[in-house]
Amino acid sequence: MCNIETEQKKKVLSCIQPSGMLTLGNYLGALKNWVNMQDEFDCTFAVADLHAITVRQEPAALRSQIYSTYALLLALGIDPEKNTVFIQSHVPFHTQLSWLLSCNTQFGEMSRMTQFKDKSAKHPENVNVGLFSYPVLMAADILLYKPDFVPVGADQKQHLEIARDIAVRFNNKYGDVFTIPEPYIPKTGARVMSLQDPSRKMSKSDDNVNSWVAILDSKDDIIRKFKRAVTDSEACVRFCEEQAGISNLITIYSAVTGKTVAEVEREFEGRGYGEFKLAVGEAVADTLAPIKASYEEIIKDKKALEQLYKEGADKACRQAYKTYNKAMKKVGFVL
Ligand code: ATP
Ligand code: LTN
């Protein structure tokens, strides 16, 4: 007889870098889906702090971003009891497996990674080896936990592909060690564009602070940023390719209210941009307010936070250790 309780849930893994203030784009495009996946899947989520130092970070800022990113995951409603939620650098097997994988990855295939090309062009003064081998560390993050699915945005698809290639090659050479993960494209998940240049995605590393909304922004800041958002010349609230600015605002409003695009267009028929921008700003601020309130409670209690991330690391270590040991044995190391 099929018993739902004893049926194995499929495994999901994803990570997020603590490289700045997390934005509305990170929330609607990625983190909201993490929250929604907790019931259906056995989830492992990590703060990818080791990846963050591939670009220069100021130590005090990095430390505070790691805390705040972990606290924010909890504030969003990710349950650390139900899931494994940890900080990447607390589990040494990531860097250790990364070495094994590096020695089974070709320079040529890594040279094709578009993120490396983009980021090295953006930071010509710091084209470090870590930036180059970043996808191998990401492959280790994934393969240690044998996930069935990895939810990633379009910009990370190439990295997931290389993780799959590395795993297939390793398994063929040494025997079955790794599960080959599939990308997970969530049913819902909005691509949020910059409020100042709707042809580019909203990004926390954009120097223009008016182009992005942080999850932890104040209500006043959120409303002000939406008031200033770039819109188009048609002056009507209609979703179409030619009106990228207003279409982006419709996408955002629809994502935070749960209304369809057609419903939003009907609601604002005959009303001006000003009124619509205010409504979007208020709806976003109302959605983010409880998250911000919960975050402020969580971040106040450093002891409790520390307890949670340590427990998360212990759980993660127990899983990662098994895969790492198996891989070491297969390669021929003496354990
Ligand atoms: P950076 O500016 O440092 O490159 P980012 O804000 O673009 O960072 P990432 O850390 O690369 O964000 O992405 C974390 C996750 O959030 C990824 O899954 C990514 O696809 C998703 N994401 C980031 N920005 C957006 C966006 N504007 N719309 C939808 N999803 C997004
Ligand atoms: N590179 C990813 C973050 C990341 C990740 C991972 C995502 C690091 N390790 C493992 C999925 C699985 C990013 O910048 N978004």
Q: Is 186 in the pocket of ligand 1 (CB under 6 A)?
A: no
DSSP 71-139: HHHHHTT--TTTSEEEEGGG-THHHHHHHHHHTTS-HHHHTT-HHHHHHHHH-GGG--HHHHHHHHHHH
Ligand nearest to the CA of 49: 2
**CA angle centred on 83, ends 32 and 308, rounded to 5°:** 105
**Which one of 97, 141, 164 would you pick to mutate in the ligand 2 pocket, going by the greatest count of ligand atoms within 8 A of its CB?**
141
User: Which are the catalytic amino acids?
Assistant: 119, 201, 204
**What's the pLDDT at 1?**
45
In three-state secondary structure terms, 198 is: coil
Cα gap 51→66, rounded to integer Å: 12
Nearest CA to ligand 2 atom 7: 15
Cα gap 250→239, rounded to integer Å: 7
Contact status, residue 41 vs residue 10, Cβ threshold 8 Å:
yes
Is 197 exposed, middle or buried, given 0-12, 13-18 or 19+ CB atoms closer than 10 A? Answer: middle
> What residue has token string 């939406």?
226
**What's the pLDDT at 258?**
93
From first to last of its 335 residues, the chain has per-residue pLDDT tens of: 445 555 789 999 999 999 888 999 999 999 999 999 999 999 999 999 999 999 999 999 999 999 999 999 999 999 999 999 999 999 999 999 999 999 999 999 999 999 999 999 988 999 999 999 999 999 999 999 999 999 988 889 999 999 999 999 999 999 999 999 999 977 666 789 999 999 999 988 888 999 999 999 999 999 999 999 999 888 889 998 889 999 999 999 999 999 999 999 999 999 999 999 999 999 999 999 999 999 999 999 999 999 999 999 999 999 999 999 999 999 999 99
Which domains can be identified in the chain, with CATH numbers?
11-190+302-331 (3.40.50.620), 209-297 (1.10.240.10)
Is 243 exposed, middle or buried, given 0-12, 13-18 or 19+ CB atoms closer than 10 A? Answer: buried
- Name 72's Cβ contacts closer than 8 Å, sequence gap at least 6: 22, 215, 216, 291, 295
Task: List, in sequence order, every residue forming a beta bridge with 134; answer none if it has no partner.
Answer: none
Nearest to 142 by CA among 71, 93, 74: 93
Cα gap 43→73, rounded to integer Å: 13
Q: Both tokens of residue 335?
A: 């354990």
Nearest CA to ligand 1 atom 19: 153
Is 260 exposed, middle or buried, given 0-12, 13-18 or 19+ CB atoms closer than 10 A? Answer: exposed
DSSP 24-83: HHHIIIIIHHHHHHTTTSEEEEEE-HHHHTTS---HHHHHHHHHHHHHHHHHTT--TTTS
